[in-house]
Amino acid sequence: MRQIAQADIGPALRALLAEPDPEHDDIGILGQNGTVLGVVIPLDAYQFFLKAVERAEDEADLATVAAWRADPLAKEGGESWPFAAPDPVAAKLATDDPAAADPAAADPAAADPAAADRL
């Protein structure tokens, strides 16, 4: 935010800022042809604006996280997510069932079909 000292602003703007309860009074600064060059808003309006922006940013962040959790391979902005897809082998290794992690542990013929002929 750019800043200017109150002593450096003109008397008309200073008088408008000094009005009691300026909560709903924006002060437009107009150019010579009547176009709006800028706006001065009261402190309460500025604080409300900051909270609203922060809330919108938080909602956008939560939506992004929810989308990623729903689909880790989802794309954002045309780029793949930087997170790897879940590894099915690692998931099987994390189980308590050795057969799930290694099919040969449950059935040697599954690892070597020729072994079935030798059994």
Share of the chain above pLDDT 70, in %: 56
> DSSP secondary structure string, the chain?
-----GGGS-HHHHHHHHSS--TT--EEEE-TTS-EEEEE--HHHHHHHHHHHHHHHHHHHHHHHHHHHH-TT-EETTEE-SSPPP-HHHHHHTSS-HHHH-HHHH-HHHH-HHHHHH-
Using one digit for the tens of pLDDT, what is the confidence trace for 29-86?
Answer: 999 999 999 999 888 888 998 999 999 999 888 888 887 777 655 555 545 555 555 5
Q: What ranges do the domains of the chain cover?
A: 6-41, 45-79, 88-118
Percent of the chain with pLDDT over 90: 21
pLDDT for position 63? 85
